[in-house]
Amino acid sequence: MAVFADYRGLPERARGASIALGNFDGLHAGHRAVIDAARKAGHGKFSVATFEPPPRAYFRPNDPPFRIFRPERRNASILAEGADAVFELPFNGEMAAMTDEGFVRKVLGEGLGVSHVSVGFDFRFGRGRMGHAARLSSLGRALGFGVSIVEEVLELGTKASSTATRQALMAGEPETAAEILGGWWVAEGLVESGEKNGRQFGFPTANIHLHDLIHPRHGVYAVRARLEGKDAWRDGVASFGRTPTTGLRDPLLETFIFDFDQDIYGKWMEVQLVSYLRPEQKFESVDALIAQMHKDAAESCVRLQAAASPPN
């Protein structure tokens, strides 16, 4: 089917599904276990319901950026798992005020008409997070649908979670984030015109703002980049931060793609962070900066050659 931006007014063909319910930011092993439970209950057919915007963005709008996936990547990843549809449940004042029973009756029952719901063991819902997984199971029985509660999934000896993924990225550990996600984390956005310092230094960069995507640790990374409409990932080196040597500004991801010289302003670009090379630093001179950029490019080649290539 497709992506639906509400739970109301759905076509009848979209209702009555076995639903995996949760935030699904990053689609890690725990998320996939919830999806598998919905697939099993639906005998191979299932859909996914998530919240847009995430409740955290509604309740804490001044928090630093925290999304692991943009909504479009999240939805595409869910559909690639075999889901028939994605329901983006609008999280607003109305939904925030619903009791746990009100949410189940109005959204899951009257709106989605669910036949089954699967959730993680720590799922909370309803006003003030009053509802929990066991409460959902009880309410489901009363309304005539089943509930699967998926127990904790461990990755690297700890709970597979979006929080663990964020912590890895903010610590400059993209390899750890990749193990949790099952693939390299991808920063993406439109290539923008920058200060053009890189071109003057012999390292022309494609620059993107991450906006509401989580900001990884500032520094230099070995990366692979891909442009819209292209299948191939190209090796490169990137800096994320505020360029303290040439002038502080808002954080920007600046990617130098090896053996590439095309005008790509306004193109959509994806960048896999593969390995953290070094922290951002201020150099005494531009010459010292350029010398380090050559070292970074050489080190990136070594790291990329040694790195695995999980699909994204």
Inform me whether the pLDDT recorded for 176 exceeds 70: yes
- CA dist., res. 97 & res. 237, Å (int): 47
For residue range 260-298, what is the model confidence (pLDDT) as tens digits? 988 899 999 999 999 999 999 888 888 898 999 999 999
Please count the other Cβ atoms lying within 10 Å of the Cβ belonging to residue 207: 21
The label of the residue with tokens 């931006």 reads 5
- CA dist., res. 59 & res. 263, Å (int): 41
Question: Could you tell me the pLDDT band of residue 189, with boundaries at 50, 70 and 90?
Answer: very high
Question: Could you tell me the pLDDT band of residue 242, with boundaries at 50, 70 and 90?
Answer: confident
Per-residue confidence (pLDDT) for residue 150, from 0 to 100: 97
Per-residue confidence (pLDDT) for residue 302, from 0 to 100: 96
Q: How many helices (H) and strands (E) does the chain have?
A: 10, 16
Closest CA to 211 of 66, 58, 28: 66
Buried-state track 35-66, b at ≥16 Cβ within 10 A, e below 16: bbbbbebbeeebbbbbbbebebbbeeeeeeeb
Burial class (CB in 10 A: 0-12, 13-18, 19+), 116: buried
For residue range 44-71, what is the model confidence (pLDDT) as tens digits? 999 999 999 999 999 999 999 999 999 9
Backbone angles phi, psi at 89, to 5 degrees: -75, 120
Closest CA to 244 of 263, 218, 266, 222: 218
Q: How many residues does the chain have?
A: 312
Per-residue confidence (pLDDT) for residue 193, from 0 to 100: 79
For residue range 204-219, what is the model confidence (pLDDT) as tens digits? 899 999 999 999 999 9
Which of 22-36, 134-148, 175-189, 232-246 has the least mean pLDDT?
Answer: 232-246
Average pLDDT, the chain: 92
Question: Could you tell me the pLDDT band of residue 187, with boundaries at 50, 70 and 90?
Answer: very high
End-to-end CA, the chain: 22
For residue range 12-34, what is the model confidence (pLDDT) as tens digits? 999 999 999 999 999 999 999 99
| HSE (side-chain half, CA atoms, 13 Å) at 70 | 11
Inform me whether the pLDDT recorded for 126 exceeds 70: yes
For the chain, the 3-state helix, strand and coil shares in percent, each to the nearest 5, are 35, 25, 40
- CA dist., res. 195 & res. 199, Å (int): 9
- Give all domains of the chain, ordered by start, each with its CATH number: 3-158 (3.40.50.620), 161-306 (2.40.30.30)
Inform me whether the pLDDT recorded for 199 exceeds 70: no
Per-residue confidence (pLDDT) for residue 248, from 0 to 100: 57
Inform me whether the pLDDT recorded for 198 exceeds 70: no
For residue range 135-164, what is the model confidence (pLDDT) as tens digits? 999 999 999 999 999 998 887 777 889 999
Per-residue confidence (pLDDT) for residue 228, from 0 to 100: 86
Closest CA to 95 of 57, 151, 134: 57
